[in-house]
Chains A and B, each alone.
Chain A
Amino acid sequence: MPADEAFDAPPSRASFMEGVRDILPVMVATTPFGMVFGALAMKQGFSVFETLLMSGSVYGGASQFVALQMWTDPLPFWTILMSALAVNLRHVLYSASLGRRMMHWPATTRYAGFAFLTDPIFALAVSQGGPRLGAGYYFGLGLPLYVNWLVATAIGAILGNFIRRPEAIGLDFVVTAYFLVLILGFRKQPKALPVIAASAAAALAAWLLIGSPWHFAAGATAGMATAAILAGGKANTG
């Protein structure tokens, strides 16, 4: 639990370091993906500058890989933009949920903070940061992961040929495993099991029937609807 969560202390070095400690496993888990992105982008004909510009400004692994896959000559500009937008739509839900825990921050800090919002940052901030999220803790999570993503991209771009088949050593599965551990952490929340079950079922159905990235929207909607319905029942019984 971050030190500045309980009261309105300014962002402290201690709470920043707590964030750094919590994000370390995520840095380990995402480094191979940054390296793979760097290597693939160079094979696609990107320059080192363009590769780093993409990781540094878009900063969203899934959308970067989707965009890279579609990057052909002539460039399908709007198709790539719309696909990346669809992949990143889940951030709308994240900022809706997280913004309410940042209301005690100055606006500029809040809007700077949103630039670092990614899947694991969101998961850690809501599960460890509490209802009054400390800015020190949040940036302790966000800044190291951002720098790590850039460094991993650069290493991958330079040494790309060393990661020929990351899936053969299970490296890509690390991200799946990481998300499973996070989901397991939610099981203590009330109504978590029906939410998780509804989300998994809807996401899987959408994945099989429509395809990626629509399983995000389907699973999220089903899980949120389940929570809303169950909350209604709870309110009636007091």
Chain B
Amino acid sequence: MTAHPMTVLLILSLAAATYCTRIAGHLIMSRFERLNPRVEAALEAVPAAVITALVAPAVFAAGIPDAIAAGVTILAALRFPMIPTLVIAAVTAAILRAAAGT
């Protein structure tokens, strides 16, 4: 158990910065009593918009095997619960990547 002062300082700075991002949106929004319907709709869209943005490169820009595996995942998710879907997804990705030699 050793610790370098600069390493620990940077880790704690990262932690503080990250916590600030976790409360900042709430601190800003709680200044407003009522929201404009457009702002309301934009906030309602945050989950779908952000998670889609998060995953888009991994689906469309990570090679053909992963893109096909993503399609299979979507089809599986329409039929099966979460855990079987995730197993199907991992197995499909592994097989297609091996077939593609990546």
List residues of chain A with CB under 8 Å of any chain B CB: 25, 28-29, 46-50, 53-54, 57-60, 63, 67, 75, 77, 80-81, 84-85, 88-100, 102-103, 110-111, 114-115, 117, 119, 122-123, 126-127, 167-171, 173-184, 186, 189, 191-192, 195-196, 198-200, 202-204, 207-208, 212, 215-216, 218-220, 222-232, 235
User: Is B64 interfacial (CB 8 A cutoff)?
Assistant: no
Q: Which residues of B contact A102 (CB under 8 A)?
A: 26
Q: In the assembled complex, how far is the CB of residue B31 from the closest CB belonging to chain A, in whole angstroms?
A: 11
Q: Is the CB of B56 within 8 A of A207?
A: yes
Give the residues from 7 to 51 in chain B that come closer than 8 angstroms, CB to CB, to chain A. 7-8, 10-15, 17-19, 21-30, 37-51
Q: Does B100 have its Cβ within 8 Å of any Cβ on chain A?
A: no
In the complex, the answer to whether A215 meets B92 with C-beta atoms within 8 Å is no
Point out the residue from B7, B25, B55, B89 that lies within 8 Å of A50, measured CB to CB. B7
Contact check, B45 vs A224: say whether CB atoms are below 8 A apart: yes
> Can you pick out 10 interface pairs between chain A and chain B where the beta carbons lie within 8 Å of each other?
A25-B82, A49-B1, A67-B10, A84-B18, A92-B21, A173-B93, A181-B82, A200-B53, A220-B49, A220-B50
Are B18 and A220 within 8 A (Cβ)?
A: no
Contact assessment for A122 and B53 in the assembled complex, using a CB-CB cutoff below 8 Å: no
A186-B47, A223-B53 are known; give 19 further A-B pairs, CB within 8 A.
A57-B15, A84-B17, A91-B18, A96-B29, A99-B29, A115-B22, A117-B22, A170-B97, A171-B90, A180-B55, A180-B70, A200-B53, A203-B54, A212-B57, A216-B50, A218-B53, A220-B46, A220-B53, A228-B38
Contact flag A170-B48 (CB < 8 Å), given A85-B17, A96-B29: no
Contact check, B26 vs A114: say whether CB atoms are below 8 A apart: yes
A220 / chain B contacts, CB cutoff of 8 Å: 46, 49-50, 53
A25 — nearest CB in chain B belongs to which residue?
Answer: B82
Give the chain A neighbours of B69 by CB distance below 8 A. 170, 173, 177
Instruction: Determine whether the beta carbon of B53 is less than 8 Å from that of A178.
Output: no
CB <8 Å contact, B89 and A231: no
Query: Looking across the interface, which residue of chain B has its beta carbon closest to that of A200?
Result: B56
CA distance A199 to B55 in the complex (A): 10
CB <8 Å contact, A207 and B61: yes
Tell me whether A167 and B97 are in contact in the complex, defined as CB-CB below 8 angstroms, given that A50-B3, A184-B74 are known contacts.
yes
Closest 8 CB pairs of A and B: A219-B53, A223-B49, A99-B26, A96-B25, A231-B41, A177-B89, A227-B45, A57-B15
Whether A224 lies near B24 (C-beta < 8 A) is no
The answer to whether A227 and B73 touch across the interface, beta carbons within 8 angstroms, is: no
Contact (A183, B23) CB under 8 Å given A88-B18, A227-B41: no
Are A93's CB and B50's CB within 8 A?
A: yes
Q: Does B99 contact A (CB under 8 A)?
A: no
Assess the A170–B94 pair: CB atoms within 8 A: yes
Alpha-carbon distance A80/B1, docked complex (angstroms): 24
A97 touches B55 (CB 8 A): no
